[in-house]
Chain A
């Protein structure tokens, strides 16, 4: 019994979505590839140049640096954000006074605009007079710490900012996962004499397996796409030490209006995320079979 097989209504229902989808998502994917093979002057000639943009890209050390920074940020931020989210979820799952308040506090930064978050933290971490600097001064630390302009500390700061901003999101996903673990499992374990650590190790963590896979992959994709907070806080500095792949694309395409090389770099980003997504689908389906 299939009522959608030949019904014109079916196609009418699909139409609005597909019109927008094809025009603003699918066509750009194809168009982007074509641009990446062209010397594309937006107000002038568009000439086919084959793989030249890609060759030029792969010969550019700045490009590889920005790819590496993006990978580095992903490698660092994913464990931190997942673990902090998990620990926060455990913490605010404990029944205590102000529980609702704490949950709200940890999640709240997530709803602030990235520009507000960046502006606030730039002022907080600025050297020679930011919040942290002034506090350290007040307690007698006279040495300047360059949170945003030292090439290592800049990454620490970006991780800190990103954690403050988005860890609450992962917390909420974990919190939901925690509610799904039946209370009886804990009761049974306690009767068997399991201590808190053992209950965490053998009940909670395995029980959150599916949520963890989801959180990890959402986080990987989000981390690969990092741009705004880095761009707004460090501008990619010092000396390009925090330039991410999207910033590289942005600078080429929209500061210098070099659309061809920019589109080529976009395709590299696309390829990276495509591979991660395929892995994700694999792992999610195996997690579903397994758990």
Chain B
């Protein structure tokens, strides 16, 4: 299943695979796609233009955007006025640690469930299933109380810990492990291989697509998490991008130029990452759709 770069055409509009890839150009589809892509990109293009306009200049008329002067002043100001680089770093750090620990803990937890039943396995699975149906948004208040009692509000722990033990991860991986051939594990057991070794030497290497999918999900989820960080962080040094940007922008609401420059700054790293890894990202998402 290679959905992204290598086109395996099976669309409704063609009858013959070979003919389609070689000759058909579908000018109408191309025009529609171009038009839509234009609308999809206009907001971003405008943001970039405005971010280079001097502060206080007239950005409220259409002619103002496309005529000089332009300046990089806003970007310098964004970096000097707010710890944006730190916010990018925090977002990255929190997302990476959350993803790594979520993958590790979900893998460890899912594997025994897949191998068979054990004392308490049904009950524990039931506990996990309950968690699947409770949105994190519904437990904000008790979570706040928990972290207040731990004295961990406004800390990296607060940003990372609640995002690790996600029932979805365990269920996804268990389902994938269930699909692996049993004979592999039985043979390994004959050789006296322990469960942990079996997991890391046999199951994990075979489960890369599932792990990649879960990893991308967790990463995107953490990267975009707004509500909990919004509530639990108070120091600019701990903030992530989703919280830092409104924090910064609310301070400069009388002008468009600075906020737009800040938007560009925090988006560039993730856009670059997306362009580099788009194949893997799309594959990861497609995977969860199909399994």
A residues apposed to B, CB below 8 Å: 1-7, 9-10, 13-14, 16-18, 20-29, 31-32, 35, 42, 88, 90-116, 118-121, 123-124, 128-129, 131, 134-135, 137-138, 164, 169, 172-173, 175-183, 186-187, 190, 196, 199-200, 203-204, 211, 214-215, 221, 224-225, 227-228, 232, 246, 249-250, 253-254, 259, 262-263, 266-267, 269-270, 273-274, 277-278
CB closest residue in chain B, given A135 = B62
Contact present for A28 and B143 (CB under 8 Å): yes
Q: Which residues of B contact A204 (CB under 8 A)?
A: 12
| Cβ-defined partner of A176 (8 Å) among B3, B12, B260 | B3
Q: Which residues of A lie under 8 Å from residue B32 when comparing CB positions?
A: 91
From the candidates B16, B46, B118, B131, name the one contacting A26 in the complex (CB within 8 A). B131
Select one of B36, B133, B141 contacting A253, CB under 8 A. B141
CB-contact partner of B246 in A4, A119, A175, under 8 A: A119
For A116, the chain B residues whose CB sits under 8 A away are: 241, 245, 263, 266-267
Decide if B11 touches A13 in the complex (CB within 8 Å). Answer: no
- With beta carbons under 8 angstroms apart, the residue of B104, B138, B231, B275 that contacts A104 is B275
Q: How many A-B residue pairs have CB under 8 A?
A: 343
CB neighbours (8 Å) of B111 from chain A are: 13
Among residues of A, the one whose C-beta sits closest to the C-beta of B259 is A119
Known contacts: A4-B112, A179-B10. The answer to whether A20 contacts B161 by CB under 8 A is yes
Q: Could you say which residues of chain A place their CB within 8 Å of the CB of B141?
A: 32, 35, 249, 253, 259, 262-263, 266
Q: Which residues of A contact B76 (CB under 8 A)?
A: none
Q: Complex: how many Å from CA A2 to CA B37? A: 54
Task: Give bound CA distance, A269 to B143, whole Å.
Answer: 16
Return the contact of A111 from the options B25, B118, B119, B274 (Cβ within 8 A).
Answer: B274
B94 within 8 Å of A (CB atoms): no
Interface size on B, residues (CB 8 A): 120
Assess A9 versus B10: contact at CB under 8 Å? Given A24-B143, A113-B241, A277-B132: no
Give chain A residues whose Cβ lies under 8 Å from the Cβ of B259.
119, 123
A29 to B142, CA, bound (A): 7
Residue B127 interfacial (CB < 8 Å): yes
B246:A115 contact, CB within 8 angstroms: yes
B263, A119: Cβ atoms under 8 Å? yes
CA A258 to CA B127, docked complex, whole Å: 29
The residue on B at minimum CB distance from A118 is B246
Bound CA–CA A123/B48 (angstroms): 12
A176 to B288, CA, bound (A): 10
CA distance A238 to B42 in the complex (A): 27
B57 at the interface (CB under 8 A from A): no
**Interface contact A121-B43, CB-CB below 8 Å:** yes
Asked if A28 and B290 make an inter-chain contact with CB atoms under 8 angstroms apart, the answer reads no
Nearest CB on B from A73, distance (A): 14
Known pairs A4-B195, A24-B143, A35-B142; A16 contacts B271 (CB<8 A) = no
In the bound complex, CA of A179 to CA of B287 (Å): 12
> Which of A32, A107, A128 is the one whose CB lies under 8 Å from B282?
A107
| Least CB distance, B185 to chain A, in whole angstroms | 8
Cβ-neighbour of B220 out of A111, A214, A221 (below 8 A): A111
Determine the residue in chain A with the shortest Cβ distance to B19. A95
